[in-house]
């Protein structure tokens, strides 16, 4: 990224871009056309699975008022007790605390380039994926990386920090959800929505995600496809989902 391109970015994204350049990271921040304040919004915009979003969760350590950053997979929930066992007792972090400690607003907090160094932990669940995306200092800003890049960029350890799935939790009926969303797609004029339903497991026999019935290549190509191509893929997804019920 050249100097002119860097200065055209929002200030927070410039800081992230500079930190990435300092580490010779190969992927510069990109600006999405729509805001991605939540992991699901980011996944939809990028055409990837929810789990591939490296979301930043901030806590306040009560002993010294330090910011504790947990970089976790978008389809997981942080287990506060596990985090506290690793770093000490925690309290809630409000928007003002996050802004003062990190220099970024909620919805755009990156895993690097904080105003004050945060105590950071990296979710081991991110290593399920070859490629992930993280916030780049602005609700529209994101950057691509590999899970193994996070420890190199942040100096943080990888840990078990998420809640275990509830045994009594009812399984997601992916074919039914896909069928319902397909009806919405057929009525959509433009901006065809992603089929991601937050189930991020690849079936070893079919090669499809068990949630959205796409191959990994189709997931990666989603954000680069136009609406016509997305509609064509949605027809294939409907057929695959229906076939899974037979």
pLDDT higher than threshold 80 for residue 198: no
Is the whole-model pTM more than 0.85? no
Least confident range from 4-13, 81-90, 95-104, 156-165: namely 4-13
As a whole number of angstroms, the distance between CA 28 and CA 25 comes to 7
Which residues lie across from 71 on neighbouring strands?
Answer: 56, 122
pLDDT band, very low/low/confident/very high, at 166 (cuts 50, 70, 90)? low
Neighbours of 31 (CB within 10 A): 14
pLDDT digits (tens, 9 = 90+) for 200-226: 778 888 889 888 899 988 888 887 888
pLDDT digits (tens, 9 = 90+) for 100-152: 999 999 999 999 999 999 999 999 999 988 899 999 999 999 999 999 999 99
Specify whether the CB–CB gap between 82 and 109 falls below 8 A: no
Which residues lie across from 210 on neighbouring strands?
Answer: none
As a whole number of angstroms, the distance between CA 75 and CA 211 comes to 12
Distances, alpha carbon 70 to alpha carbons 78, 128, 174, 203, 212, in Å: 8, 17, 29, 29, 27
Specify whether the CB–CB gap between 150 and 72 falls below 8 A: no
Which residues lie across from 54 on neighbouring strands?
Answer: 73, 134
pLDDT higher than threshold 90 for residue 169: no
Question: C-alpha angle with apex 43: 76 to 158, nearest 5 degrees?
Answer: 40
Residue with tokens 């000490």: 88
Domains and CATH numbers, the chain: 3-159 (3.90.960.10), 174-243 (no CATH)
The torsion angles phi and psi of 186, rounded to 5 degrees, stand at: -65, -25
Question: C-alpha angle with apex 71: 70 to 74, nearest 5 degrees?
Answer: 120
Which residues lie across from 132 on neighbouring strands?
Answer: 145
At 204 the three-state DSSP class reads coil
Please, where are the H alpha helices in the chain? 3-7, 11-22, 39-46, 80-87, 95-102, 149-154, 174-186, 216-221, 227-243
Specify whether the CB–CB gap between 36 and 80 falls below 8 A: no
pLDDT digits (tens, 9 = 90+) for 22-75: 999 999 999 998 877 788 888 888 888 899 999 999 999 999 999 999 999 999
Please give the pLDDT value at position 2: 46
Please give the pLDDT value at position 4: 45
Please give the pLDDT value at position 168: 47
């Amino acid at each position: 990224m050249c100097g002119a391109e860097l200065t055209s970015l929002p200030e927070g994204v410039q800081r992230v871009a500079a930190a990435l350049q300092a580490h010779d990271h190969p992927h510069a921040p990109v600006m999405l056309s729509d805001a991605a304040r939540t992991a699901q919004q980011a996944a939809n915009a990028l055409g990837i699975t929810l789990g591939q979003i490296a979301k930043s969760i901030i806590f306040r350590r009560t002993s010294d008022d330090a910011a504790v950053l947990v970089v976790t997979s978008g389809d997981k929930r942080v287990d506060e007790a596990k985090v506290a066992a690793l770093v000490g007792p925690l309290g809630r972090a409000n928007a003002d605390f996050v802004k003062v400690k990190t220099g970024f607003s909620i919805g755009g907090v990156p895993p690097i380039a904080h105003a004050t160094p945060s105590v950071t932990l990296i979710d081991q669940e991110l290593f399920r994926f070859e490629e992930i995306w993280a916030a780049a200092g602005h609700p529209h800003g994101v950057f691509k990386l590999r899970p193994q890049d996070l420890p190199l960029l942040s100096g943080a350890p990888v840990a078990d920090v998420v809640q275990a799935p509830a045994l009594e939790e009812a399984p997601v009926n992916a074919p039914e959800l896909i069928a319902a969303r397909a009806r919405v797609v057929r009525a959509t004029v433009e901006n065809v929505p992603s089929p991601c339903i937050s189930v991020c497991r690849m079936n070893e026999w079919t090669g499809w995600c068990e949630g959205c019935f796409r191959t990994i290549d189709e997931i990666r190509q989603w954000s680069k496809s136009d609406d016509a191509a997305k509609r064509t893929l949605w027809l294939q997804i409907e057929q695959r989902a229906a076939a899974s019920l037979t």
